[in-house]
Chains A and B, each alone.
Chain A
């Protein structure tokens, strides 16, 4: 019997179609994997089901009843539980208090009946096979336990359908196994699950059926037992990506950045040699370690093992200033939090890193700065009126160009670009990739970390794929295809070998 039937769901945001007549159904007592790349429409579909967004068209039927005007509250009452990536538990309360939040059991004198709540919590955990003390403070629980607590909370609220949005990103293998055990147990009780994940081994270990979305459209659905990781990956990515050619092959120089068994927070045993003038693509799922490695090279975090050589000399770990002296620059991910200085002007934002290179010559020569700013503005094609405008008055793409200008201004030779096209429009993206190619021609060494493989295909000489903190494989330019990178990034190859 179908517990959920979503038909012809459509949704537009600001005139952009994000869901185009998508149909999706879940059987009672199954784990259904919802698959697709970032931006495929999975989250929007789930947010419509969970009452966060309202659909523009189509119908939703849950447990045989049509659902109109779904709100977060009505979805919860109907028995749909959304277990979010960011946990919604309250750290400063005890486990049982979290469990019974807003549904406290009261005694005769309308006081809290703690004993009864603790007893019921214990009962629930026994049923789940979870070892959590109801009297423990939630803040003291590990992430995996918190996640299980959320599931228990939903179970207590008598949920029938659980939406698990990338539930394993913060868990280790053992914890993942434990969690999957619980999901299977609940499945046997007749509960249903929608499972969103990018990791092929997990999908093949847990799911019964799958549905694939791409660019807001339904692509296919079927049984996992009849599918292959490669087939699924191909359908997720699609064929025929058209792009304008900017890549030019050019002679590369000596190794400029050498890593040997390098380990640090978020990555381990990385060995890699980057040559002067090379453009290297880094990719991997969120938390795979590529961004962490960049931060360690730039001195934001400290190296815990192995060696890092810059210009042939061992680098001092854990100081950004030393890295900058070594002519390394890093364009950080999450522009708003990590790069933009909102109360400062364009020219100030352009110069703030340059000011840190040397503490001598404290005086700022305004005319000199203006001249250099103008050249950078022209080079980067920044659309702005006055250098004294605040940076926040610009669009995202132009802000990013200013930040890029900040680093070019330090005369850095090694540029680490962490997700440089995040949240910027297509035009600015193209300009940034053209610029990367131009800089490489001038002999700059550039590493681009991005989840978007077409971007790597555009500019990179090689592509390094990360999985679980270490390098899965290094692909030469000719070998870089979306399907291949996805296979490596999700470790689907390992599953295939197992099935093989």
Chain B
């Protein structure tokens, strides 16, 4: 009796800690079955490759959600930072300048959100809803003023080719984008688990009052979290530009806030903050990317895409809540 109990709690613990990987593996298995013999190293590598931009954005979103806030403006930030980065590259022909500028712009936009949320203490949902509208509209206005239809990298520049290489080629069959993703994940995992700052982020999301009374500068930490998310969006925007070669403010990064939030949630981070692991976010984001590929492989109508993604999101939440649901059912039975 005791043995089975012990086994049960062990399974429960593994389930609780790693269900994001199990969900990913389940979806991945479906992908492999459908692809069958057509599966190659490239098709497998395409999963993390196509998850890089949204994954890096979701890592920033995850940090924000860990403090109990939210950022609806990430997609619009991608459009604005990406668009302006294209302009900077076109006028400087310098990859490094473009990268530094992208990160700088990300920090500026993150600061705007962070100061309004952290210092002015406006609700994050409203602040980022407002900046979501503003950032994309600014990107469109700037483009319109130049009489462009999209922000397009100038392919005649000497540095265009190296930039394209960063976004599209591989080292030892591993896409460069994936290597960068792995690097960012490693840094963010370290930040969240092994630094004082990381612990403060969790503490704020878990019990803000207790965090404050422990000496944590809650306002400043909130600003910092939005700034770090801004840095990540800067990197993601740069990679997006390198990968795609252009930014269309009307469509680039559209709905990314929703996919990022979904990735964070499937990754097992609690929406009320304070709970969950950064590593889960990558798997959450990749789970969504695979769904795209599965729909593609099955030759289904792409319009059904979001229906399936929504259903998977609901399923993932239900699975995570399984222990709580069964507990409630048991209670209901007993009374």
Q: Which A residues fall within an 8 A CB radius of B?
A: 300, 320-321, 324, 330, 332, 337-344, 348, 351-353, 355-357, 359, 361-364, 366, 406
16 example contacts (A-B, Cβ-Cβ < 8 A) are as follows A300-B213, A320-B213, A321-B215, A332-B210, A337-B209, A337-B210, A339-B210, A341-B214, A342-B207, A343-B274, A344-B202, A344-B203, A352-B216, A355-B199, A356-B215, A362-B196
Q: B305 at interface (Cβ–Cβ under 8 A)?
A: no
Least Cβ distance of A81 to chain B in Å?
A: 32
Roughly how many angstroms separate A452 CA and B127 CA in the complex, as a whole number? 47
Determine the residue in chain B with the shortest Cβ distance to A355: B196
Proximity bits, B175-197, A CB within 8 Å = 1, else 0? 00000000000000000001111
Q: Which residue of B lies closest to A339 (CB)?
A: B210
Give B192-229 as 1s and 0s: 1 = Cβ < 8 Å from A's Cβ atoms: 00111101101101110111111111000000000000
Q: Are A342 and B206 in contact (CB under 8 A)?
A: yes
B199 touches A364 (CB 8 A): yes
A362 near B203: Cβ-Cβ < 8 Å: no
Q: A356-B216, A362-B195 are in contact. Are A343 and B202 (CB under 8 A)?
A: yes
- 18 further A-B contacts with Cβ under 8 Å, apart from A320-B215, A342-B274, A356-B214, are A320-B212, A324-B215, A332-B213, A337-B207, A338-B210, A339-B210, A341-B203, A341-B210, A341-B274, A342-B206, A343-B202, A344-B206, A348-B202, A351-B199, A353-B214, A355-B200, A356-B216, A362-B195
Q: Which residues of B258-292 have CB atoms within 8 Å of chain A's CB atoms?
A: 274-275
- Shortest beta-carbon distance from A342 to chain B in Å: 6
* Contact indicator A341/B215 (Cβ below 8 Å): no
- The residues of B with any CB-CB pair to A shorter than 8 Å are 194-197, 199-200, 202-203, 205-207, 209-217, 274-275
Q: Which residue of B lies closest to A360 (CB)?
A: B196
Please, which residues of chain A bring their CB within 8 A of the CB of B213? 300, 320, 330, 332, 338-339
CB neighbours of B212 from chain A (8 A): 320
Question: Which 8 pairs, one residue from A and one from B, show the smallest C-beta to C-beta distance?
Answer: A356-B215, A355-B196, A343-B206, A343-B274, A362-B195, A353-B214, A341-B206, A343-B275
A123 to B137, CA, bound (A): 59
CB distance from A391 to the nearest CB of B (A): 10
Determine if A338 and B194 form an interchain contact, defined as CB atoms under 8 angstroms apart: no
A338–B195 CA distance with the chains assembled, in angstroms? 23
Distance between Cα atoms of A128 and B205 in the complex (Å): 48
How many pairs of residues, A versus B, come closer than 8 Å at their CB atoms? 76
Chain A residues positioned under 8 Å from B202 (CB to CB): 341, 343-344, 348
A352 to B221, CA, bound (A): 14
Which B residues are in CB contact (< 8 Å) with A340?
A: 207, 210
Q: What is the bound-complex CA distance between A338 and B203, given in angstroms?
A: 12
Q: Tell me the interface secondary structure of chain B in the complex.
A: helix
How far apart are the CA atoms of A337 and B213 in the complex, in Å?
A: 10
Q: How far is the CA of A321 from the CA of B212 in the complex (A)?
A: 10
Contacts of B205 in A (CB 8 A): 343
**Choice from B194, B195, B203, B217 contacting A321 with Cβ under 8 Å:** B217
A364–B194 touching, CB < 8 Å: yes
Given A300-B213, A324-B215 in contact, is the A341-B196 Cβ separation under 8 Å?
A: no
Which residues of the partner chain A approach B206 to less than 8 Å between Cβ atoms?
Answer: 341-344
Tell me whether B194 and A363 are in contact (CB under 8 A): yes
Q: Which residues of A contact B274 (CB under 8 A)?
A: 341-344
Is A353 within 8 A of B215, CB to CB? yes
CA distance A343 to B203 in the complex (A): 8
Contact A362 B210 (CB under 8 A): no
Contacts of A320 in B (CB 8 A): 212-213, 215
Residue of B207, B210, B215, B274 with highest tally of chain A CB at under 10 A: B215
Q: Are B214 and A406 in contact (CB under 8 A)?
A: yes
Query: Would you call A364 and B195 a contact (CB within 8 A)?
Result: yes
Q: How far is the CA of A143 from the CA of B215 in the complex (A)?
A: 33
Residues of B within 8 A of A337 (CB): 207, 209-210
Closest A residue, CB atoms, query B272? A343
In the bound complex, how far is the Cα of B274 from the Cα of A485, in angstroms?
43
Contacts of A359 in B (CB 8 A): 196
**Would you give the shortest CB distance from A390 to chain B, in whole angstroms?**
10
Please give the distance in Å from B188's CB to the nearest CB on chain A: 14
Residue numbers in B under 8 Å from A363 (CB-CB): 194-195
Q: Hey, which chain A residues are within 8 Å of B211, CB to CB?
A: 341, 352
Q: Which residue of B lies closest to A322 (CB)?
A: B215
**A363-B217 Cα distance, complex, nearest whole Å:** 18
**Which of B196, B199, B202 has the most chain A CB atoms inside 10 A of its CB?**
B196
Closest to B273 in A: A343
Minimum C-beta distance from A225 to chain B (A): 47
- CB of A341 within 8 A of CB of B195, answer no
Complex interface: chain A residues within 8 A of B195 (CB) = 362-364
Cα distance A357–B210 when bound, in Å? 16
- The contact of A352 among B194, B203, B217, by CB within 8 Å, is B203
Interfacial chain B residues near A356, Cβ < 8 Å:
196, 200, 214-217
Chain A's closest residue to B190 (CB) is: A363
Q: How far is the CB of B289 from chain A (nearest CB, A)?
A: 29
Q: Using CB atoms, name the residue of chain B closest to A332.
A: B213
Closest to A407 in B: B214
Note all chain A residues with C-beta closer than 8 A to B200.
352, 355-356
A352 & B275 in contact (Cβ 8 Å cutoff)? no
Looking at the assembled complex, report how far the CB atom of B212 sits from the nearest CB atom of chain A, in whole angstroms: 7
Compute how far the CA of A491 lies from the CA of B194 in the bound complex, rounded to whole angstroms.
53
Distance in Å: Cβ of B130 to nearest Cβ of chain A: 26
CB closest residue in chain B, given A406: B214
Residues of A within 8 Å of B214, CB to CB, are 341, 352-353, 356, 406
